[in-house]
Amino acid sequence: MDNKPIQILLVEDSNLDARILRKLLTDAKNIEVNITHVISLKEAIEILKNNNFDIVLLDFVLPDASGIEAFIWLYAQSPEIPIIVLTGLDDEQLAVKAIRKGAQDYLVKGSVDSNHLVHSIQYSIERHRLEIALKESEKKYCRIIETANDAIITADAETGFIIDANRKAEELLGIPLDNIIGMHHTGIHPKEEELFYKKLFLEQVGKGHSVVTNLNVVHSDARLIPVEISSSVSDVQGRMIVQGIYRDITERKRVDKLKDEFVSAVSHELRTPLTSIREGVSQFLDGLLGDTTEEQTQFLNIILEDIDRLQQIIDELLDISKIESGRLELKKEMVNLTELILRILPRFNGFLKKEINLRNELPEKNIKLFLDPGKITQVITNLISNAYKFTYDGGVITVKAIDGELNVTISINDTGVGINKNDLPKIFDKFVQVNRTDGPGIKGTGLGLPISKGFVEKHGGHIWAESEVGKGTTFFFTIPKLPEQVILEEYLRNKINIAASKETKMVFILAQIIEFEKVQEKIEKERLHSVIFHDIKNIVQKSLYRSSDDTVLSLHDGISVFLIGSDKQGGQTVTKRMKKAVDDYLENNNLQDIIKLKWGISIYPDEEKYASDIIEKAKSETISTDLDISKIGIMVVDDEKFLTELMKMKLQSKGYANITLAEDGQKALDIIKEKTPDLILLDMNMPVMNGYEVIGRLKTDPLTADIPVIILSGFPVDSEKLDAFEFESIPVLSKPVDDSLLFESINRLLVENA
């Protein structure tokens, strides 16, 4: 604070209390004050209109106002001046109320000394000054937010609900601002991106770092608007918030698309003459156009190599264009990384005619990753090629893979010339050639590493290098181990896009092992992995007999199948075929009592349109291949008591414990009103009410229409007495009943009706 006297307005109707306060202040050291004393609220308000004060000392009991009302009146007139409330009452609740309303402090007269009073005045003035500065800063911040060219949305980090947004957010989403506030942050994104964004949000909150990513938001008119989101986590008065800046990149996408189309068109125009030239040179070299001299052959081989090099440059330009425009598409699938790398290494036998020892240090266990095998092959091939180029004869190149908890790290180490420390930050820039060219390397286009970086980052991984000149270089890149739900949804989105482009349907079939945790306890891990990822997958694949667009994806606890161009009926037919093949396999390998599968089906776009909904639909409608028959209720309706008791014994011998008997149709219907069975075994010729009438009443009542029925009859069934649909859908077994047919029919109907 400066050395000017503090201007104090003392509002106190007691002259004695006023003199005491004046005495405390004038006797205080290190403070100089000018005190103006008034005895009423009215006088205080009038004097504040024409005079400047640094602080007000306000008594709570005045002739014309008392209690908290006195403070409220004065604060409303002069909110820019700090106020300390004085009272003779030691009332904590009153103190808290005053502070909440805006008072800087609360002092009890008679219990305050000179130092306490001075400190309170000094701190109140300084605190009020900071509050005013903070409010001005908040106003300035609000003006910046409101005038920003981008949408700004703030969400509570703990709950995920939006707590603030600016007018640009209203414009971007087409939703009134009042409606945006209170929405969940995932609600502004399309359903197929919700899981990814939620995962990103939770990771950001957990790690507290900033994130920049490209996604879509949904406008109120259902348009998808591409946006670049820059978000950061902050602690505001103990409350963690995530603030995202949403920039509409529709125009950027349009320009990138034009650029990409231009590059594609030019590349295509270059490919055509290159293909003709290469074919002509090849015909000369093959002797199809006559003999060539040794010197001519040598020059033709150089031409052929340069044509291939130019072809590579065109391919790399196309790749880098797709990466930069965001139009790079990945064709991802579940891949055994170890097998992928081992297929790549033999390509380098005799590469560049160098004697280099190419080693691998790969884990023996399977590493299953969801990736684009073509793109990752290109990354590994490029990094090994670079290592060869910059390593002398007799050197060593080592390829490693380390299986981590969240990702797998692949490294390519060489004993080559190394990279200068100052050049390391530039190696992933386009067209950059660093000092490794001083060694044995071959000068390239400078696009291989930026393309590799783009491919790796498109997979959600990172790539970097460590090097020491004269000792060698190690390139590292990571591939994330995605949650199975994310993998499944991404697979589904790809298949949905294929189906949509062909204007056809897609069937999603999900088969999961029941009580998987218990199965893991009974079967050794590697054996179970082989059963799911190899045996069952191959059996299901062979059961499809369909188009190449169909895909089988192994999950940790089962499989999923994607059928392009099929419908509900076709999907059910394929499911039955797969189910039988898998059941036969399990039985032949004595696994039928350990591994039991449940099957579910969902149809795009007839039933669901979004990946997450399609999965949930299949899960919710999953049908068990082997029901818990001990809980299944079966009713046997027959007037022959001996036959009903015999049937009861047969059913119980197979594990059906919940059996109900009825001697005629009427009694059966009376029992059904109290307890609905899961299936009915029905005789047709009975007294009181025969089987035909029972079926008619069951089918006309919505509560019982779906109960499956099996007819057991010693006489031919009169089809004219049954509706055509009912007759075709009801199995008819002749007495004496074949047990195998009986239980096959029971199981089929229960599964279909589950």
Q: Are residues 174 and 119 in the same domain?
A: no
Low-confidence winner among 55-59, 201-205, 443-447, 717-721 (lowest mean pLDDT) = 201-205
- Which pLDDT score, from 0 to 100, does residue 1 have? 47
| Residue 1, domain member (yes or no) | no
Q: What are phi and psi of 187, to 5 degrees?
A: -70, -15
Of the pLDDT bands very low, low, confident and very high (cuts 50, 70, 90), residue 119 is confident
Residue 164 CB neighbour total at 10 angstroms? 17
- Which pLDDT score, from 0 to 100, does residue 349 have? 83
Of the pLDDT bands very low, low, confident and very high (cuts 50, 70, 90), residue 107 is confident
Residue 175 to residue 165: CA distance in whole angstroms: 11
For the chain, how are helix, strand and coil distributed in percent, rounded to 5?
Answer: 50, 20, 30
Provide the β-strand partners of residue 240: 235
Q: Are residues 612 and 673 in the same domain?
A: no
Q: Are residues 288 and 399 in the same domain?
A: no
Rounded mean pLDDT, 582-589: 90
**Cβ proximity of 34 and 5 under 8 Å:** yes
Q: What are phi and psi of 709, to 5 degrees?
A: -130, 140
Single out the residue in 125, 143, 161 at which a domain terminates. 143
Length in residues, the chain: 754
Q: Are residues 11 and 102 in the same domain?
A: yes
Residue 69 CB neighbour total at 10 angstroms? 12
**Cβ proximity of 164 and 154 under 8 Å:** yes
Residue 174 to residue 167: CA distance in whole angstroms: 10
Rounded mean pLDDT, 550-574: 84
Q: Are residues 710 and 612 in the same domain?
A: no
In the block, which residue shows the tokens 């701190």?
123
**Number of H helices and number of E strands within the chain?**
24, 27
| Residue 79, domain member (yes or no) | yes
pLDDT in tens, 635-644: 999 998 888 8
Q: Name the percent of the chain lying above pLDDT 90.
A: 21
Total number of domains constituting the chain: 6
Residue 541 to residue 314: CA distance in whole angstroms: 38
pLDDT winner (highest mean) among 347-356, 447-456, 727-736: 447-456
| Two structure tokens written together for 427 | 């190696």
| Residue 468, domain member (yes or no) | no
Residues 6+ apart with CB under 8 A from 206: none
Q: Are residues 138 and 242 in the same domain?
A: no
Q: Name the percent of the chain lying above pLDDT 70.
A: 89
What SS3 class is residue 28? coil
Q: Are residues 442 and 493 in the same domain?
A: no
Of the pLDDT bands very low, low, confident and very high (cuts 50, 70, 90), residue 136 is confident
- Which pLDDT score, from 0 to 100, does residue 465 have? 92
Which region holds residue 562: left if phi is over 0, alpha if psi is between -120 and 50, else beta? beta
Q: What are phi and psi of 556, to 5 degrees?
A: -65, -25
Residue 108 to residue 126: CA distance in whole angstroms: 21
- DSSP line for 146-203: HH-SSEEEEEETTT-BEEEE-HHHHHHHTS-HHHHTTSBGGGGS-HHHHHHHHHHHHH
Q: Are residues 708 and 678 in the same domain?
A: yes
Residues 6+ apart with CB under 8 A from 653: none
Single out the residue in 199, 215, 248 at which a domain terminates. 248
Of the pLDDT bands very low, low, confident and very high (cuts 50, 70, 90), residue 409 is very high
pTM value surpassing 0.75 = no
Over the range 113-148, which residues count as b (16 or more CB within 10 Å of their CB) and which as e? ebeebbebbeebbeebeeeeeeeeeeeeeeeebeee
- Which pLDDT score, from 0 to 100, does residue 159 have? 82
Amino acid at 591: L
Amino acid at 29: K
On average, the pLDDT of the chain sits at 83
What's the CATH code of the domain at 375? Answer: 3.30.565.10
- DSSP line for 214-281: EEEEE-TTS-EEEEEEEEEEEEETTEEEEEEEEEE-HHHHHHHHHHHHHHHHHHHHHHHHHHHHHHHH
Amino acid at 324: E
- Which pLDDT score, from 0 to 100, does residue 624 have? 45
Residue 193 to residue 216: CA distance in whole angstroms: 8
The 8-class DSSP code of residue 370 comes to: E
Of the pLDDT bands very low, low, confident and very high (cuts 50, 70, 90), residue 625 is very low
Single out the residue in 107, 126, 143 at which a domain terminates. 143
What SS3 class is residue 731? coil
Q: Are residues 294 and 355 in the same domain?
A: no
Low-confidence winner among 87-91, 333-337, 356-360, 361-365 (lowest mean pLDDT) = 87-91
Q: Is the peptide bond before 605 cis (omega within 30 degrees of 0)?
A: yes
What's the CATH code of the domain at 168? Answer: 3.30.450.20
Residue 177 to residue 181: CA distance in whole angstroms: 6
| Residue 706, domain member (yes or no) | yes
Of the pLDDT bands very low, low, confident and very high (cuts 50, 70, 90), residue 92 is low
- Which pLDDT score, from 0 to 100, does residue 478 have? 94
Q: Identify the domain containing residue 748 by its residue range.
A: 629-753
Rounded mean pLDDT, 198-217: 69
| Residue 463, domain member (yes or no) | no
Residue 133 to residue 272: CA distance in whole angstroms: 69
**Cβ proximity of 20 and 27 under 8 Å:** no
Low-confidence winner among 51-55, 295-299, 464-468, 616-620 (lowest mean pLDDT) = 616-620
Q: Are residues 169 and 230 in the same domain?
A: yes
Long-range Cβ pairs for the range 589-596 (8 Å, 24+)? 591/531, 594/519, 594/522, 594/523, 595/513, 595/519, 595/523, 595/531, 596/513, 596/514, 596/515, 596/624, 596/625, 596/626
- Which pLDDT score, from 0 to 100, does residue 377 have? 93
| Nearest alpha-carbon partner for 367 in 476, 514, 478, 249 | 478
Residue 107 to residue 89: CA distance in whole angstroms: 9
pLDDT in tens, 648-659: 988 888 778 899
Q: Are residues 262 and 299 in the same domain?
A: yes
| Residue 551, domain member (yes or no) | yes
Strands 709-713 and 679-682: parallel
**Cβ proximity of 332 and 294 under 8 Å:** no
Residue 692 CB neighbour total at 10 angstroms? 19
What SS3 class is residue 661? strand
Q: Are residues 541 and 452 in the same domain?
A: no
| Residue 613, domain member (yes or no) | yes
Half-sphere exposure of 577 (CA within 13 A, CB side): 15
What's the CATH code of the domain at 561? Answer: 3.30.70.270
**Cβ proximity of 395 and 415 under 8 Å:** yes
Residue 27 confidence (pLDDT) above 60? yes
| Residue 479, domain member (yes or no) | no
- Indicate the helix (H) or strand (E) that contains 63: none
- Which pLDDT score, from 0 to 100, does residue 198 have? 67
- Which pLDDT score, from 0 to 100, does residue 654 have? 77
Residues 6+ apart with CB under 8 A from 277: 307
Q: Is the Cα dihedral 304, 310, 315, 319 positive or negative?
A: positive
pLDDT in tens, 519-533: 888 888 878 888 887
What's the CATH code of the domain at 294? Answer: 1.10.287
Of the pLDDT bands very low, low, confident and very high (cuts 50, 70, 90), residue 443 is low
Residue 148 confidence (pLDDT) above 90? no
Of the pLDDT bands very low, low, confident and very high (cuts 50, 70, 90), residue 141 is low
